Amino acid sequence: MYVAVKGGEAAIEAAHAWLAAARRGDPSVPELGLAQIEQQLALAVDRVMAEGSCHDRGLAALAIKQARGDLIEAAFLLRAYRTTLPRFTPAEPLDTGRMRVLRRISATYKDLPGGQVLGPTFDYTHRLLDFALAAEGAPPPPPAPEAESGVGPMPRVSEILAAEGLMRREPAGEEAPPPDLTREPLRFPAPRPLRLQALARGDEGFLLGLGYSTQRGYGNAHPFVAELRLGEVEVVLCPPELGFPISIGEVTVTECQMVNQFAGAGEAPPQFTRGYGLALGHSERKAMAMALVDRALMARELGEEVLAPAQDEEFVLLHADNVEATGFVEHLKLPHHVDFQSELEKLRSIRARVEAERAAPRAEAAE
Amino acid sequence: MRPGFADPVLDAQAAFRAVMQAMARPGTVQRLAAAPDAPPPIAPAAAAVLLALADADTPLWTDAPEAARGWIAFHTGAPFVAAPEEAAFLLATSAMPPLAGLRAGSDEAPQEGATLIVQVGALRPGAGWRLSGPGIAEAHRLAVAGLPADFPAQWAANAARFPRGVDLVLAAEDALAAFPRTLRIAEEG
Amino acid sequence: MRDPVRSPEGAGAPGAEHRRREPEGRDPHYNFAYLDEATKRMIRRAILKAIAIPGHQIPFGAREMPLPYGWGTGGIQVTASILGPSDVLKVIDQGADDTTNAVSIRRFFARTAGVATTTRTAEATVIQTRHRIPERPLREDQILVFQVPMPEPLFRLEPRLAETRRLHALADYSLAQVKLYEDIAQQGESASSYNHPVLVNGRYLMSPSPIPGFDNPKLDRNPALLLFGAGREKKIYAVPPYTPVKSLDFDDHPFAPMRAPHPCALCGSTTHYLDEIVTDDRGGRMFVCSDTDACAEAAGRAGAAR
């Protein structure tokens, strides 16, 4: 059994061979293609892109296949690949106001310029298992009906509120260009650009739980979805060699702007404040949870009392990264017998001392 | 433009190891086998240190003339700053800038103290100052030709503000030595 | 009883090939030692400042490595940044060269740097370690790279990094002293058996990484350069050669390193740190060296003496 730990290379190679066989599963079942994953497990691909911090559907699909569908493992694979890529230059800020919108809803207005666009959503589906999907080889569904008129301009809801002076103005960026979390470690207190970067690659489940906690009284939140939009935005670079901006393509993102009432403090009048969420791909739950947590983390800047876990930036940001978290939790599988041995000797020593002390008074009493 | 390292990967590694050895064993003299042929007045050892460690993330100050600056900029991409106190790396090819005027970091972030590379006339181990501190078993002797006369006093003031402070790399032709801020210098004894 | 616990390819096996180089050489798909040059420069700058400020944790932009965080990524990034083609690398985990993670990391560098690897402490120029310091005294021409899970020695007492950074700036280590005082008051000795904090050069409190207290005295005035890398926590720190390192203690309760009171069942050593191995379910135990190379050496000496 000890050989299992002092196992050496043969054991590792055997384990990897077994993993490869388990990944393939029953060879009589057709092998999954990357295109199938990309097309038919698109939201898994989106989650891996968001948490892997890399917008590449093909690579995300490959990572999911390699990870046997373990999405955190897949995000890790994508991150480890991403870190080997050269960094050319920072992109210009994405202009989500000019998004080619696939879906856009606002909970704060019944109707608004550009309208409500439901898009491909699970909302209002009845969560009944659809056994028709179990029958393979069914003809593809008919194309979805097109909107009657072309979608017009879609001003952002936050700008509608800002025009009325009811939305808190974002202070100008502390640093230009913004810090880059992939090149420098988190520091505290963390400026908002660094916080948003950490949240954008943070674990969806962790942010979901934290965001939920702010709705249940852990933090002073009264959130409304001012706007949730999904679509394609252009990525623009301005390479120093060229000196003018060029478009290098489009990425799909989900953006959520959550408004919260704010009582006002000091000079600031009562107004709305904004929590912001942005995720690569179609990841509404992630973008919404991120917006809730972003707003909670603004407590320090707004002079609110920091009482709830979601408002505690060290707690939130240092534990949101699932690649870091899974590594450290799972490292407990590594041998620790040297440490454990020293604990054993320590415990034996302390026990021996206590027993000697217990025995001593009795011996005295007997004399 | 003169070339930089013949092998950018392995020569940079060798130069870094020489600086690391020098910093870990203050006062020992390291020789660089593969230092680049830098334009004058840059000493080969100083050039190797810069090429190994400076880049776009390290604001750099130097008193070297334009042609030499162009060579450094081309091979490192480091941005030049005019004020010594703004630099992460400094290369003094002639007079050493006063240590008290350089970035020393803060008590919370003392690692932000600058690294100053000073070109000196000669480095002779076994004679001169008596050096002690971390990295030195008992004491080590080093004679340095070409530092300002008040250098020991400036250095004592630098050491007194520990953990803040400036770290020094001394370069003479293809040889280098380093003085981390923990080093103590005794002139006699 | 003959060697029931070493795998055939283990370092302790007689006649084992202890030094090798990948026959195919370095994998040309990766930069030398995997990391790109900009990342190496950033880490190298951090290492130099770490040496200049002994025991102080330098934040660095740790990268995602192809191994998980917590599995040695900090040590790997430090090793990758210092390693050159003429180095001879040894990797140990729990003192042993043939533990699975040590094998995995050694293979990583054999593949990406093409360096020679060894299981012999005496032959290595760079030793990456998890949880041990080799028994054989290190030399001036050797570098020991520690994998560090939690670099902050105060983290159990104060988890906030902004606060611990302030405490280090003030050299205020009263939290750790109070904890040690309480341990001694309650149970007569320090409760920490591994990862016992040390004071470096009289200034910085430092985590020695989770080495057993038995190894703490080896940190003091060690001729080798000691480098510490924490990947997930993104910190690098160092102890230069011959630097005074003192385990936190009190004059009337001096730090006492511990070791199981037995000889090694394989080599007979009464001075090496021991692993305890459960041999049956009736309380049977045997004790063997944790440092496989030191054990093999001692066994060789014992055999020669017979």
Q: What pLDDT was estimated at residue A146?
A: 67
User: Could you please report the per-residue DSSP string of C215-265?
Assistant: GHHHHTT-SSEEEEEETTTTEEEEE-TT--EEES-BTTB-------SS--T
Q: What percent of chain B has pLDDT over 70?
A: 99
pLDDT at C9 over 50: no
pLDDT category at C230 given cuts 50, 70, 90 is: very high
Residue B1 within any structural domain of the chain = no
pLDDT at B115 over 70: yes
Provide the annotated active-site residues of C: 55, 264, 267, 289, 295
Model pTM score: 0.91
Q: What pLDDT was estimated at residue C21?
A: 80
**Could you tell me the CATH number of the domain that includes residue B175?**
3.40.50.11310
* Cα–Cα distance, A57 to A46 (Å, whole number): 8
pLDDT tens digits, one per residue of C96-134: 998 889 999 999 999 999 999 999 999 999 999 999 999
* Cα–Cα distance, B88 to B61 (Å, whole number): 8
User: Could you please report the per-residue DSSP string of B47-98?
Assistant: HHHHHHH--TTS-EEE---HHHHHHHHHHH-PPB-SSGGG-SEEEESSSPPP
Q: Which residue has the tokens 């995997």?
A: C34
Nearest to C68 among A7, A182, A331 (CB): A331
Residues 6 or more apart whose CB falls under 8 angstroms from that of A169 comprise A162
Residue B69 within any structural domain of the chain = yes
pLDDT tens digits, one per residue of A167-203: 888 777 655 778 889 888 999 999 999 999 999 999 9
pLDDT tens digits, one per residue of C11-22: 444 444 677 787
Judged on CB neighbours under 10 Å (0-12, 13-18, 19+), A350 is middle
Residue B101 within any structural domain of the chain = yes
Has the ipTM of the complex gone over 0.85?
yes
| C106 contacts chain A (CB < 8 A) | no
Q: How many CB atoms lie within 10 A of CB A238?
A: 13
Give how many domains chain B has, as a whole number.
Answer: 1
pLDDT at C215 over 50: yes
Token representation of residue A133: 């999907």
Q: What pLDDT was estimated at residue A43?
A: 97
Give the residue from C36, C39, C53, C86 with the most B CB atoms within 10 Å of its CB, the best one to mutate: C53
Q: What pLDDT was estimated at residue A153?
A: 76
Separation in Å, CA A198 to CA A37, A212, A259, A313, C304:
27, 18, 21, 11, 60
pLDDT category at C283 given cuts 50, 70, 90 is: confident
Instruction: Answer whether C234 sits within 8 Å of A185, measured CB to CB.
Output: yes
Instruction: Answer whether C98 sits within 8 Å of A3, measured CB to CB.
Output: no
Q: Cβ contacts (< 8 Å) between C240 and chain B: which residues? A: 23-25, 134-135, 180, 182
Across the strands, what pairs with B132?
B184
Q: What pLDDT was estimated at residue B18?
A: 98
Buried b (16+ CB within 10 A) or exposed e, C259-269: bbeebbbbbeb
Q: What pLDDT was estimated at residue A366?
A: 54
Q: What pLDDT was estimated at residue A173?
A: 62
Residue B188 within any structural domain of the chain = no
Minimal C-alpha gap between A71 and chain C (Å): 15
| C27 contacts chain B (CB < 8 A) | no
Residue B37 within any structural domain of the chain = yes
Q: What pLDDT was estimated at residue C196?
A: 95
pLDDT at C4 over 60: no
Residue in chain C lying closest to A332 (CA): C70
Cβ–Cβ under 8 Å, residues C22 and C114: yes
Question: In chain A, which stretches have pLDDT less than 50?
Answer: 1-5
* Averaged pLDDT of chain C: 91
Residue B19 within any structural domain of the chain = yes
Residue B186 within any structural domain of the chain = no
Residue B59 within any structural domain of the chain = yes
Q: Cβ contacts (< 8 Å) between B53 and chain C: which residues? A: 41, 44-45, 48
Minimal C-alpha gap between C243 and chain B (Å): 5
| A330 contacts chain C (CB < 8 A) | yes
Cβ–Cβ under 8 Å, residues B129 and B140: no
* Cα–Cα distance, A205 to B24 (Å, whole number): 46
* DSSP conformational letter for B117: E
Residue in chain A lying closest to C38 (CA): A86
* Cα–Cα distance, C131 to C71 (Å, whole number): 12
Q: What pLDDT was estimated at residue A148?
A: 54
Structural domain boundaries enclosing B157: 8-180
In chain C, the domains with their CATH numbers are 19-153+193-247 (3.40.50.11310)
pLDDT at C240 over 90: yes
Residue in chain C lying closest to A331 (CA): C70
pLDDT tens digits, one per residue of B52-85: 999 999 999 999 999 999 999 999 999 999 999 9
pLDDT category at C236 given cuts 50, 70, 90 is: very high
